[in-house]
Amino acid sequence: MEITRRREAERDLRDPARLVLGTSGERALSACLTYAPEGVGEAVQPTSGEHTYVLGDGQDADPAYQAFLGNGVLLHANLKTGQVCLRTSLSGCPPVFVYREGGRSIVASSVDRIAALCRGQLAFDPQGLVELAAIGHPIEHRALFRHISVVPAGVGLAIDATGGVRTVSHWQPPVDPPFRHLQEYISAQSDALTTALARMDLSRSFLSLTAGLDTRTILALLVRDRRTLPALTMTSIVESIDARCAAELCRGYGMTHNMIRLNKTFIQQFPECALEASRRSGGLSSFGQASEIFFYRVASNAFTARLSGNLGNQVGRSGTEGVRMRGVPLEVLARDVIAAAKPLQGRHWLAEMAGKNRGLGSLKLIQLERLFASMGNSCIGESYVTQQTPYADRTVISQKLREPVLRRYEIAPMMALRLRDLKHRFLGDPIRTSFQRQIIASVGGIVARTPVNWGWQPCGGVSLAGTALGTLGLIDMVINTRLAGRGVASRIMSRIGIDGLSGFEYVDLLRERPVAEFVNDTLRASAAQQSPMLNALVLRRALAKGLSDRSARATLLFALDIVLARQNFGITQ
């Protein structure tokens, strides 16, 4: 593909969100905030030797930079006195990590920056490994490594050489009463989302456009305000439903649209993309996020910020990032690792959190579910470009908590979540209850009539053709015909020149020789076979069954995550 828009030659794109703060005993505080695009890491309010830095998106900052941001980290620093105060965002993104061991503390914007300072001293956390296998990511603000934790959303930290890192404040939800009725809430959210997007500097941004409701709402607001910016959509070699829909929308409004295709170039680069995904995600993902690395490598050549519908699930309709557990058999881990971890309950992690939090309301969905379900993906994205989303605006989040009918997920929410997900894909929430649908319908035109997901239209009604394709995709997913090859429905769609909804299935990658060889060679090497974290006998059995076996594949790809994390972060245990 080719992107015609380029950065100015004098701007050198570097990793954004470079934050490292360290204290060690009585040594003076050391701080490093390096330049990054679009003001990230730049001092935005220098006064008397004091500087205020914003990591992430500061579109909702107050004039004095005193309030918590919805999608940015605030850092007030006086490097002369060594006094630093840090406020995490209300959404928890960009993520901030703390390493504490003995008298040493490090606060950083990524795990790999902590690893660089610790110089081979990191060790795996058995609990984090067990949760990565069973759930797909650690929870309860754990990272994959001992002594490293994720700083909670909406927390103020004080950092100095004598006191180390300590929590000094918490964001308090608004005390305003709920909105009197649903339409009052919908009108307020529509206005707040409009204002948030209008404040954003989009001069060097691209729109990450899919056929989904969340980015469709953003597109509708851009169209209404006569603002255009280039759009990008990731797809496989065969154009997906998402990609075709995005292209049609952009043509309708004269917007530039490019597809980043996961083609032969991606296949050739896959090993290095997987290794880099492991490093940038803090060890949480390798194989599963390699496509994101490829996507950002292309996109960051032309842009320094990404506008997306992130947090739209939670804020727009009290949805989730996903309801599936990873479900890797724990026997692939060494016995002493399993013994050192607390046994997990048999229920879904969201149900576990709901039990501990007396139900899982909107704030927990925003600050816990989205943060941890998307932790690896968020870390990767933040390491390339500034992440922008109007759904993380402070006012939008605050008003979400005043919704007239607050949804709370109790002890067993999984069936309800799955049914709600299917309902959204086929029908969507009723237009009378959705501020997103009402925004799109008020704009009208192509953006309102083009089907969303599996066939329903934002302005009302359904597309029979879209529903038919969605039904084929659902059948494919339910009967798992992709396990032995591309399913019947997939072959039908391929014959007419389209792929599924997203157009990309990671299991298909394993049929590509360079990818399969990379996975097998890595796991047959001595570093994997002799890893104290893995059960070598179970690993060899999975290798003997091969990547075509569903259970063996899950085991092998998890083992790949562990082996590459050990390599990236210098783990010697």
Contact 337, 126 (CB under 8 A): yes
Q: In what order do the strands lie in the sheet with 30-33?
A: 30-33, 19-24, 104-108, 97-101, 148-150
- For tokens 């990450």, name the residue: 208
Q: Which long-range contacts (CB under 8 A, 24 or more apart) does 36-44 make?
A: 36/386, 37/11, 37/13, 37/204, 37/304, 37/305, 37/385, 37/386, 38/201, 38/204, 38/304, 38/305, 38/386, 40/16, 40/386, 41/16, 41/17
pLDDT at 112: 92
Share of the chain residues as helix, strand and coil, in percent rounded to the nearest 5: 45, 15, 40
Quote the tokens at residue 235: 């797809």
N-term to C-term CA, the chain:
43
Per-residue pLDDT 10s for the chain (573 aa) are: 333 333 332 233 334 445 666 654 433 333 333 323 333 344 444 455 678 888 999 999 998 888 999 999 999 887 677 778 999 999 999 999 999 988 888 999 999 999 998 888 999 999 999 999 999 999 999 999 999 999 999 999 998 877 788 899 999 988 899 999 999 999 999 999 999 999 999 999 999 998 799 999 999 999 999 999 999 999 987 788 889 999 999 999 999 999 999 999 999 999 999 999 999 999 999 999 999 999 999 999 999 999 999 999 999 988 887 777 899 999 999 999 999 999 887 667 776 666 665 555 788 889 988 889 899 999 999 999 999 999 999 999 999 999 987 554 444 456 666 677 777 777 888 999 999 999 999 999 999 999 887 778 999 887 665 555 555 555 554 444 443 345 545 544 444 445 555 556 778 889 899 999 999 999 999 999 999 999 999 999 999 999 999 999 999 999 999 999 999 998 876
Pairing of strands 148-150, 71-78: unpaired
Answer whether 217's CB lies under 8 Å from 439's CB.
yes
CB contact set of 42 (below 8 Å; sequence gap of 6+): 35, 36, 53, 54
pLDDT on residue 340: 95
Q: 19-24 and 104-108 as β-strands: parallel, antiparallel, unpaired? A: antiparallel
One-letter amino acid identity for 95?
P
> Which residues face 202 on adjacent strands?
none
Reported pTM:
0.88
Q: Which residues contact 371 (CB under 8 A, 6 or more apart)?
A: 91, 92, 93, 95, 150, 153, 378
3-state secondary structure of 497: coil
Burial string for 40-79 (b: 16+ CB within 10 Å, else e) reads bbbeeeeeeeebbbbbbbbbbbeeebeebbbbbbbbbbbe
Per-residue DSSP letter, 38 = G
Which pLDDT belongs to residue 9? 27
The pLDDT, as a whole number, for residue 401 is 93
Q: Are the beta carbons of 124 and 404 closer than 8 angstroms?
A: no
Query: Could you give the maximum distance between any two Cα atoms of the chain, in Å?
Result: 69
Q: Nearest-CA neighbor of 118 among 566, 571, 563, 532? A: 571
Give the residue among 111, 41, 98, 50 at the shortest CA–CA distance from 72. 41
Q: For residue 233, what are the β-bridge partners?
A: 259
pLDDT given at position 472: 55
Whether the Cβ atoms of residue 127 and residue 146 lie closer than 8 Å to each other: no
* Residues 236, 245: Cα–Cα separation, whole Å: 14
Residue 455 CB: number of other CB atoms within 10 A?
21
CB 154 within 8 A of CB 88: yes
What are the distances in angstroms from CA 215 to CA 220, 307, 373, 440, 557?
9, 9, 19, 11, 31
Spell out the domains of the chain, with CATH numbers in brackets: 182-329+385-478 (3.40.50)
Torsion on CA atoms 480, 483, 484, 488, rounded to nearest 10: 40
Give pLDDT, residue 217: 97
Q: How far apart are CA 412 and CA 435, in angstroms?
A: 28
Pairwise CA distance, residues 553 & 573, whole Å: 25
Q: Which amino acid belongs to residue 69? A: L
Residue 257 has which token pair? Answer: 């649209």
Run of H or E residues at 99 = strand 97-101
Q: DSSP 3-state assignment of 464? A: helix
According to the model, what pLDDT value does residue 16 have?
44
Task: Quickly tell me which residue has 């879209």 as its tokens.
Answer: 466
Question: For residue 411, what are the β-bridge partners?
Answer: none
**Could you tell me how many helices (H) and strands (E) the chain has, helices first?**
24, 15
Cβ within 8 Å of residue 286, ≥6 positions away: 274, 275, 277, 278, 560, 561, 564, 565
